[in-house]
Structure 1
Amino acid sequence: MKIGAPGKLNVMSRHEADSTKDVITGTFSINSIPVKVMFDSGATFSFISEAVVSKLTNYLKTVDEVDLPVVIPMGGVVKCNKTFKDVPFEIEGKVFVLDIIEFGSGDFNVILGMDWLSKFSAKISCL
């Protein structure tokens, strides 16, 4: 994963996401562990919570150290320092391999950002 400029992430609660029609969420799996996911076209990269990382300690093998400042909507900057490589992520029986950055907070286990959406030519439709 090439990281140059600071990342951007739209952090919101599950309640906020559930009450907003233009936010897409779902429950999918990483190594058969269910994870609550938000698709975030405003996020530069894809993120995984520390809680899920702790459940997958023996499974997530490849870790790169990074120094990535991530700008969040509340005006703050959070430093992220771990990237997990080639993590197989399953959505409705199809496996997508992604690189994902550990992020410390939030109600969602995984946030799939523009890196993932672009790589797989995903389209978000809020019909």
Structure 2
Amino acid sequence: MANQAVQLVQANQASTSQATPAVPNARGRAFVINANQAQHNNNVVNGTFLINNVYASILFDTGADMSFVSFNFEPRLSSSRSKLENSFTVEVANGKAISIDSVILGCTLNLNDYDFSIDLIPMQLGSFDIIVGMDWLAQHRAEIVCFEKYIRIPLEDDQILRIFCEKPSKGLKLMPCTQA
């Protein structure tokens, strides 16, 4: 699924219940890239972090308007879905359209022993379990420091939390061995 663009398009405007979560202006883009591409892309940061006390491969992506969880990882969250007030369509670069009508509310993202609430939209993803998009990044006034590949998150106590990405592995150097 190398660098496959996903476009969100507003669809069904029917039901309007106050108890039902809504996706404001369900329009935008998300990019699905693999871990190797993420390590070489200065607009994203990736790493392994806890979400609902389970380790997940997470991509922090300024190109994604919303935050997503892969269908494969969703059962590990042990959380139930809530119906969206307004469903919308996710259109993948190859033209395939997927209807999105639910969200998992109030998951806990743990970054260096700080807990943050995050809502996740289940959908088919590539090599990441979670994509953290601009909805969460903007809410927490997070900044991606491109050159140094880390995220700055201002905390309520006037401290700055820095989340560094995983460094590309240099590869294992194997020595051949023989048995005598």
Q: TM-score range, shorter-chain basis?
A: 0.7 to 0.9
CA–CA separation in structure 1 for the residues paired with 2:102 and 2:61: 20
1:60 matches 2:69: no
Q: Does structure 2 retain, via aligned residues, the 8 Å contact 1:65–1:81?
A: yes
Residue of structure 2 aligned with 1:49, choices 61, 70, 78:
70
What residue ranges of structure 2 are gaps of 5+ in the alignment? 1-20, 149-180
User: Which ranges of structure 1 fall in alignment gaps of 5 or more residues?
Assistant: none
Does residue 1:107 correspond to 2:157, yes or no? no
Please tell me whether residue 30 in structure 1 is matched to residue 48 in structure 2: no
The answer to whether the Cα contact below 8 Å between 2:43 and 2:61 also exists between their aligned partners in 1 is no
Contact 2:67-2:119 at 8 Å conserved across structures: yes
**TM-score scaled by length of structure 1:** 0.84
Match of 2:113 in 1: 93
Indicate the structure (1 or 2) with the bigger Cα radius of gyration. 2
Q: 4+ residue runs of structure 1 moved beyond 6 angstroms?
A: none
Match of 2:61 among 27, 40, 52: 40
Residue pair 1:45, 1:114 contacting (<8 A) in 2 also: yes
Per-residue Cα deviation, 1:72-120 (whole angstroms, up to 9, x for no partner): 4555543323201111111111000011111112111111101000111
User: Contact conserved, 2:44 with 2:62, CA < 8 A, in 1?
Assistant: no
Task: Report percent identity of matched pairs.
Answer: 27
AA of the residue aligned to 1:89:
L
2:79 & 2:59 partners in 1: Cα distance? 21
Alpha-carbon distance in 2 for matches of 1:13, 1:64: 28
Q: CA deviation at 1:7?
A: 4.4
- Tell whether the 8 Å contact from 1:7 to 1:69 is kept in structure 2 after alignment: no
User: RMSD of aligned C-alpha atoms?
Assistant: 1.9
Contact 2:51/2:109 (CA < 8 Å) preserved in 1?
yes
Question: What TM-score do you get using the length of structure 2 for normalisation?
Answer: 0.62
Q: CA deviation at 1:70?
A: 2.4
Distance 1:84 1:105 in 2: 16
Aligned position for 2:156: none
Aligned length: 124
Instruction: Answer 1 or 2: which has greater helix percent.
Output: 1
Residue type of the alignment partner of 1:64: S
User: Quick one: higher RCO (CA 8 Å, sep 6+), 1 or 2?
Assistant: 1
Residue number among 43, 61, 70 corresponding to 2:90 in the alignment: 70
